[in-house]
C-alpha cells in the first residue's frame, strides 16, 4: 500500500462509499415505516458525492503542484470547502426526507 499512487489510495475509499451510495438499506424502507431509511440514504449519497468532489479536487491540484502535499496547505482548504457542501447536502437531504 505504501507504493500506491494518489488515485489508488482514493479508490480504496471511494469504492466502499459507492456501495453505500447505491442505497443498500432500501429494503428496510418496506419493513420499517420510519424516517431512518431515508435519512441513511441522504447521508450516504451526500457522503459519496462530496468524497468524489474531494477526490477530483485533490487529483487536479496534485497534478498542478507536483511537490510534497502537506496536510495543512494541501488538504485542509479542500476539506473545509467540501465539508461545508457536505453539511448543507446532508441537512437538505434529511430535511427533504
Domain ranges within the chain, ordered by starting residue = 6-96
Least confident of 44-58, 62-76, 82-96: 62-76
Rounded mean pLDDT, 43-54 = 96
Say if residue 97 is exposed, middle or buried (CB neighbours under 10 Å; 0-12, 13-18, 19+). Answer: middle
Measured in Å, how far apart are the chain's first and last C-alpha atoms?
Answer: 39
Residue 14: pLDDT band (50, 70, 90) is: very high
Kindly tell me if the per-residue pLDDT of 7 is higher than 90.
no
Residue 2 phi, psi (nearest 5): -75, -15
**CB 46 within 8 Å of CB 86:** yes
Kindly tell me if the per-residue pLDDT of 68 is higher than 90.
no
Rounded mean pLDDT, 18-46 = 92
Q: What is the pTM of this model?
A: 0.86
Rounded mean pLDDT, 58-67 = 84
How many other C-beta atoms are found inside a 10 Å radius of the C-beta of residue 11? 14
Residue 52: pLDDT band (50, 70, 90) is: very high
Amino acid at each position: 500500500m505504501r507504493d500506491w499512487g494518489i488515485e489508488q489510495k482514493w479508490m480504496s475509499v471511494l469504492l466502499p462509499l459507492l456501495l453505500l451510495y447505491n442505497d443498500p438499506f432500501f429494503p428496510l424502507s418496506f419493513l420499517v415505516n420510519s424516517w431512518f431509511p431515508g435519512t441513511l440514504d441522504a447521508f450516504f449519497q451526500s457522503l459519496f458525492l462530496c468524497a468524489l468532489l474531494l477526490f477530483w479536487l485533490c487529483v487536479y491540484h496534485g497534478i498542478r503542484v507536483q511537490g510534497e502535499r502537506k496536510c495543512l496547505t494541501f488538504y485542509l482548504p479542500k476539506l473545509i470547502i467540501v465539508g461545508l457542501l457536505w453539511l448543507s447536502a446532508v441537512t437538505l437531504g434529511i430535511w427533504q426526507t
